[in-house]
Amino acid sequence: MKISLLQINPTVADLAGNAGLIESAARMAQNSGAELGITPELAIMGYLPRDLLLRPAFVKDAWKALGELAKSLKSCIPVLVGIAQPNRNKVGRPLHNAAVLLAGGKIRQIFHKTLMPTYDVFDEDRYFEPGKGPQILALNRCRLGVSICEDIWNDRDFWRRRRYHDDPIEKVAPRGVRAILNLSSSPFTVGKQALRERMLSSMARRHKKTILYCNQVGGNDDLVFDGRSCVFDGRGRLIARGKAFEPDVVTVDLDAPAEKLEFDNTAPEEEIWKALVMGTRDYLRKCRFEKAVLGLSGGIDSAVTAVIAAEALGPQNVIGVLMPSGYSSKGSLDDSLALAGNLGIRTHTIPISTLMAGFDSALADVFAGRSRDIAEENIQARIRGAILMGISNKFCSLLLTTGNKSELAVGYCTLYGDMNGGLAVIADVPKTMIYRLARWRNATGPVIPQACIDKPPSAELRPNQTDQDSLPPYDLLDQILDLHILEHKGLDEIAAEGFDRQVAARVLNLVKSAEFKRKQAAPGLKVTDRAFGTGWRMPIAKK
């Protein structure tokens, strides 16, 4: 039996568009000789619809679109499509996370997801009632186990500590199934594909079953999906893998498997770069923007963001804005213009010294008797933020913020200033990784001026300012932040690992006190296991 994994890039709530993607991929699968197609999880709705799922009209419209899709596929192969199904029982959550078999123009069978993730960015227990019992599809004299995303993430032999008491795969595998299918929408984080493949290989080997894993691709809000759909045979061998960060149709013959492996570079720099480029492109496209604008400071963060934007959107669709003050160095201006020239993006230079003087004059009576401090520094950042938002409005261009994760973690950013914008491209990328990305990108063709990489980072809001006036060195800061944010370690645990207790205490206090800023930050593309986005749920008012 030949089965195709339909790795598509859906848009949340674009029911007709998503149905069209499924139909197109299904016909490609049919042309390859497949007898069954499998979509990602909730494919016709797009993952994740979040509270759209609470609107009965949205769910009703999705089923109407599914019915139309079934008719369109009447002469095509059967397709297993992800959708949310109303829960007809009087008890429980309002919906099931379902996979629906379309065949011969009709809905033939429905299967339900069993395990509901409620960690990090996931909140499925809010919407979905778990399925019960083994989910089995009988097709063309072949029995297939059906699972949906989280259902495969609870194998007792692979995980040291399991999250759930039940394992749906353990229940379906002994039921005479030829293979196990998985409809997935598993978001990207750096290094996750290697983990997925180890897990799926272990599971296939343990149950002696072929496992076919179909993952979504594309960006939806802060989440990026990397595709890389794959198939493991009953001995745990990888026999097929789809493209990374691109749509694909992967067809496998269960009776005569032949390797079809797309090359996959899992180097962190390449993974993160591709995720950010695709996430930026899809965020703008799906929010109906064609152009982007960003401030160019001559620093490494705005340089990396500009290169990502130019690659994602095309240089003709990116505007860089230089806003020098009396504290801006000539090198910063030269480096910004050199970067823009290398990329081929347009620039505007708007000096802000006169505007700063106007604010100083307007506030002179209010600030009388007080020395200049962070208030005046932040006004500079807010002048720049207002200019960028004005250009964004005037030219219908999305403003990209250029702050990195290290800065956002400790609040080294100005609310309503450099935090302004519609998308924070590198908000989940630590400063040390920013440098790695810059060097990696320049190795394929130097576009970022070396001075941007070599110079000490500075906000240039006062004379001779550098970031290290206010923060520990970034290599030290990022290590402490990783222990605290990714590994949830507190002060005693961090100090026990050899870090200076006073420095660590200061960093942790900065993280805590900056929570109110992060709550108001632009959405950021998630590329690590713990991002300051929908999965970060910390209180602001706390002791």
The more confidently predicted of residues 90 and 98 is: 98
pLDDT at 264: 86
In this structure, are 43 and 106 located in the same domain?
A: yes
What are 137's strand-pairing partners?
144
Quick check: is 113 in a domain?
A: yes
| Catalytic-role residue among 23, 35, 76, 113 | 113
| Gyration radius from the chain CA atoms | 25
CA–CA separation, 218 and 43 (whole Å):
12
Contact between 420 and 414 under an 8 Å Cβ cutoff? The reply is no
Q: Hey, what are 39's tokens?
A: 């979509």
In this structure, are 197 and 290 located in the same domain?
A: no
CA–CA separation, 27 and 148 (whole Å):
23
269 in active site:
no
394 in active site:
no
CA–CA separation, 68 and 61 (whole Å):
11
In this structure, are 197 and 313 located in the same domain?
A: no
- Number of domains composing the chain: 2
Quick check: is 476 in a domain?
A: no
In this structure, are 292 and 336 located in the same domain?
A: yes
Residue where a domain terminates, one of 255, 280, 314: 255
Quick check: is 39 in a domain?
A: yes
In this structure, are 239 and 386 located in the same domain?
A: no
Residue 192 has pLDDT above 90, yes or no: yes
Q: Which residue range is the domain that position 7 belongs to? A: 2-255
At 94, the amino acid letter reads: P
| Catalytic-role residue among 23, 129, 149, 286 | 149
pLDDT range class, residue 464, cuts 50, 70, 90: low
In this structure, are 247 and 177 located in the same domain?
A: yes
487 in active site:
no
pLDDT at 455: 87
Residue where a domain terminates, one of 191, 220, 255: 255
In this structure, are 238 and 309 located in the same domain?
A: no
DSSP 8-state symbol, 251: E
Compute the average pLDDT of residues 127-134: 94
Quick check: is 531 in a domain?
A: no
In this structure, are 10 and 88 located in the same domain?
A: yes
Residue 459 has pLDDT above 70, yes or no: no
pLDDT range class, residue 470, cuts 50, 70, 90: confident
Residue 170 CB-density burial (10 A; 0-12 exposed, 13-18 middle, 19+ buried): middle
In this structure, are 357 and 428 located in the same domain?
A: yes
Q: What is the mean pLDDT of the chain?
A: 95
Spell 341-371 as b/e; 16+ CB within 10 A means b: ebbebebeebebeebbeeeeeeeeeeeeeee
Quick check: is 469 in a domain?
A: no
What CATH number has the domain bearing residue 388?
3.40.50.620
Compute the average pLDDT of residues 290-316: 97
In this structure, are 48 and 94 located in the same domain?
A: yes
- State the DSSP string of 331-382: HHHHHHHHHHHHHT-EEEE---HHHHHHHHHHHTTTTTT----HHHHHHHHH
Quick check: is 307 in a domain?
A: yes
Residue 157 has pLDDT above 70, yes or no: yes
Residue 402 has pLDDT above 70, yes or no: yes
In this structure, are 246 and 286 located in the same domain?
A: no
Quick check: is 69 in a domain?
A: yes
Query: Residue 255, Cα to own-chain centre: how many angstroms?
Result: 36
What CATH number has the domain bearing residue 165?
3.60.110.10
φ, ψ of residue 391 to 5 degrees: the values are -65, -40
Residue where a domain terminates, one of 255, 281, 301: 255
Quick check: is 528 in a domain?
A: no
In this structure, are 219 and 363 located in the same domain?
A: no
Residues across the chain:
543
pLDDT at 460: 63
Residue 110 CB-density burial (10 A; 0-12 exposed, 13-18 middle, 19+ buried): middle
pLDDT in tens, 309-344: 999 999 999 999 999 988 877 878 999 999 999 999
pLDDT at 263: 81
The more confidently predicted of residues 305 and 462 is: 305
| Catalytic-role residue among 35, 41, 129, 197 | 41
